[in-house]
Structure formats: structure tokens, C-alpha cells
Chain A
């Protein structure tokens, strides 16, 4: 994709810079940090990014086109809409479903949306931002996904949508959820932000929902720094999403384009005068949540590495699992959902109630040894300060969600984890846990 203009000298300098500054990063046990996630790249990402800068087009351009195309091929999905974050992608997904263009299928204030409280905020908050009501259903421990047996009891005549993430890359029970969404005529938004590359029933996640979302924040499967995307097979829905992304504009011209539709001055919209410039016709109350071409350039280079990243994540998961299966008296180990092959975002563990240490004990210990861990996002989101005065409904209890809040943490599986880092971490984990075994 890089243009063969007179840029060769710059390219050579970049390769030189990469080799000197990034290529051989030494890991020193006890001194270097074992991050749970991070950017994995080589000179290609730098070359693509600089190429985009040299183009100085900045807004969506040739790299956005290239990145979108690679994503659409990878997922086998017709439409990709790039966004400035995965959170924006979720916001757009929910907002688009409120469009008048969807007639009686549109979401209206007060409609309910099934989701889980053991989530990252940006899966849940767009529900509230669109004046809809989240209905929280409890999760299963091990898969950390929605308990599908409890969804039906959470439905009401106001339920219009389901939004769920594939927690930490582990697909939710898509078959059960899609069956329910079909049975009750509910929209399904598949938050695929943590799961790009995961497989369910031999098909990639992010291809099952009416809309699916992706995140390219550095912790994710590929990164553009900030960044995200929406995947959608329905052309009309994709147009609505794009409109919401681009200020609510009716016209679908990209930056630097005009009259793409060929009907710029010959249409009637709302109560505007006939022929009002289509470029300035707004049919939705939209945002500006677009990605830049520089981000897309990095994304395009990352896409070429995605299959190997996914394999590395799976491998790292197995390495952790081989260690922790020896300590299943202390931990609830992660379970891949039936018929799935997760591209694990992380390796989640729940400290059992009768373990001789708490989640905070072990994570404090690991962090003091420079081994990063994370709690599972918001824990139980309804316990967060932002939810104290927020309208929501809980279906049944959130017993397991509270367990996650109190006792779950995760280690990284990202492809930048080297064998040395893993060996060092295993040594520290075994040292910590074997103390209890010997008591």
C-alpha cells in the first residue's frame, strides 16, 4: 500500500530507527515490567504511519479504505465503518437504532436493552445515553458471559435490544442469544471489542449481530492507538450508522469529496428549499466520531499481523492454563464457551471463597513483582458511583457479578508476552501459591 514516491530515504531512516530503538527490547526479570497488554508492532506500522503523515491527507483517505477493506475481508462482512474508538462504535450502534428511518423497529426512550453488569462501561453506558433502560442479567463464572438461561425472565414488552460483549475474548452463547433475539424480534449488538479473531461454530465473532463493534485501543487484538470500527451487513443500517458518525449528515461523501451521490442539488429534504446542498442536509442528530487516516494506516499494517496475534494469544492462554490447572483448588479457571475458539483478550481467574488468600492479596503480590494484573473492568457496574442515580432494572440477582467484582482478576495474553516474561511470572506465582500448599 505504501506509495513508491520519493520517500525511500525516509523509509530507510525509519527502518534504522526501528531497529535501534524497538527491535531488541531486553527483558530483565524483576526490573522490567510484565505488562498485561501493549502495542506489538514492527517497522511496518511506523512506515505506514509516516506514509500517511507524508500524504498529509489526515482525515479518512486511502489508508482508511485499505484498513476497512482488510477488516471486511477478514470478517467477511459487507460494511465497515471506522470510528475513533470502540466506545464510540458502541455509542453509534445504539444511537443508530434510534433512527426514524427504522420506522417501527427503532428504539425509543424507555425501551429496554438486555445486557450484563460485569462489563466495561462503554458497553452499557450508550444504552443510558440514548434514554434507554439497561436490564442486567447475571453471568456465569468461568465463561464470564451472560447466563443465557436467565435472559428470557428478564424480557418485558419494552425489551427491544440485546447488547453483549464477548467477555475477554470468550464468545457468549451466540446460538442461544441469536435464537432469543429472533424469537422476540430484538436487535442484537455484538460487542466484539475484546474478541477480534475469536471463532464460534466455525464463524468469526462480530459477524452474528445486526451490528458488531471493535476496539483498537492498545490493549486490544490490534491497535491504532485510539480507534474502533463497526461491522454490519445491512447496507441501509450501515448508511444510518455512517450518518450518525458523520454529524448526522444525509450525504455519504467522504472528506474531500462532493456530489458522490450525483444528486447534490436536486433533492427535497424536510422543509428545506428544493435542491438544498445535500452535503449540508442532516437527517440524524449525529456526532463526529471518525478515525484519522494515520490511525487507519497503523490499523492496516496491524491487520496483516492479526492472524499471528490471535494464535499467540491462544498459545499464551494455554501456557497460563497449564500452570493454574495445578491450583484449581484456589481458583475458578476460565472456560471457553462450547463450540468456540476464543482469541483470548486475557486469562481470567476467580479466587475461590475458601482460598487462603484474596484476589487483592495475590494481585498486590504480583504487582509488587512488576507483573501487571487487572480486575474485570467495572466489576458490577451498578455499584459504580456513576450508577447511583441512574435508571436501570436488574433481572433476578447479580450474585455471580458480585463475585467477579470481589474476586476476579486477569493476566495478559497479549502477543508481546515473551517466554522469559511468562517463565518469570510462573516462578513468582508458584512461589506465592506453593507457600499455601506447604501449610
Chain B
């Protein structure tokens, strides 16, 4: 896909729970092209004109948006950059975004019984797949989502809708609230699904490292383990 820069305006901000933000950007284009699982770079540098060296930016998975000309991301405030985003972005403010990047799902050969494991906002790249017209090609997928608490759940309705639309049993979607069910347990997930399944993992870097390592220890071949772990 053609990677393009957009000088985009913040058109909506939701703050459903503490430090959790869903931001929508208006690119003023009719349609923004990207594929499920892809990510964008976001820069809030006010001095950038679109010509010089690309300024400091951060990667964010593209969250599905109902409007084809708008792009959404979900982020939680964790470091300085996201803190700056929280403090500086208001409706109408401008940012530079650059997309699309990544190939999380483009190399998937076997779409039977895939296992999607996400922690927190890490569900974003999966959401763009679940809400995409090609999701029907994934047969009998299982989804494990770990959230701090039910307050952070802005995803379940969309996931359930996607499941219904694609006739996937709702029991394949397992939601874990840290304050009730505890953390996602990769050993339990592995015990249920076994070795020759494709595992997609997305979440905080430490979670990815731990889960990937546990799967490898259980002799799951690297070709079955898919993740985007940004620095």
C-alpha cells in the first residue's frame, strides 16, 4: 500500500476510563487505505511542515473507524509521549500521521483455529481484523482479552458483533478482568489449543516477551507465533 502522510485534525476524543483514550482523526480524504493489523506513526510536533525529516513519532495500531476517511487509535497514558498527547490534543488540533505500516496478518497461511491473545489496548490491531470484511476467512478463531477492569472494556460490543456477523460461537471470546479473573495465563491458553495453531499476541512489551517465551518453551514453532513488538 502507498504510505502517505496526512495533516489530520482531531475530530473526536473519548476518555472512557482513567488514562484510556480513543482518538479519531479526520484526514480530509474520502477513504484511507490500510489493511487489518497495520499501524500508523503519529507525530504531535507542531513545527513539522510535511517537508523535512519526519519528526519524533510513535507507532499506534489502527483502530477500526466507521468513517472511511477517518482514522482512529486507542492509547493508554504510559510514558512522556502519551502524556503529551493527553495534554495537548483537543478536538480541532492538528497532528501528522503516516500510514499504513506492518504486515501482521498478510503472511498468515492457515486461518483455521487461530488464537488471538491481547492485553489492554493491544487488542487494537486485532479489532481492525475482527471488523474487516475478510474476517470470515478465519475459521473458528479464539480470542483472549485481558483488561484491568470492566471500565476499560470498549471492545466487547464490537467483538461480539463481529462474531455474530461471522457466525463464530460467542464462547470463543474470553474476557479476563484483572480485578476479577486475574491475568491472562498463557500456559492455560496453550494447554487448550496446543502446538500447531497460529498464535497472535499483542499487548505491553513485557507481556509479549513472556508469552512468546512460554510458547517457545512449549515447542511452538516461531512460524506459528505472530506479534508486533515495538521498541
Contact = CB atoms under 8 A, between A and B. Distances in A.
Interface residues of A, number: 27
Contacts of A260: 41, 101
Interface in B209-231: 228-231
B148 interface: no
A80 B35 contact: no
A383 B3 CA distance: 44
Contacts of A252: 101
Interface residues of B, number: 25
Given A62-B5, A78-B1, A262 B51 contact: no
Most buried by A among B3, B5, B51, B103: B51
B54 A257 contact: yes
Contact of B51 (A61, A235, A263, A266): A61
A266 B229 contact: yes
Q: Which secondary structure characterizes the binding site on chain A?
A: loop
Interface string A223-254: 00000000000011001000000000000101
Nearest to B3: A65
Contact of B230 (A69, A79, A256, A262): A262
B52 A235 contact: no
Given A259-B231, A260-B101, A79 B50 contact: no
Contacts of B51: 3, 55, 57, 61-62
Q: Which secondary structure characterizes the binding site on chain B?
A: loop
Nearest to A66: B4
Contacts of A272: none
Contact of A256 (B4, B50, B54): B54
Nearest to A238: B1
B75 to A, nearest CB: 14
Interface of A: 3, 55, 57, 61-62, 65, 68-69, 72, 78-80, 235-236, 239, 252, 254, 256-257, 259-266
20 contacts: A3-B50, A3-B51, A57-B52, A65-B3, A65-B5, A68-B2, A72-B2, A78-B2, A78-B33, A79-B2, A80-B2, A235-B106, A236-B103, A236-B107, A256-B53, A256-B54, A262-B59, A262-B228, A262-B231, A263-B231
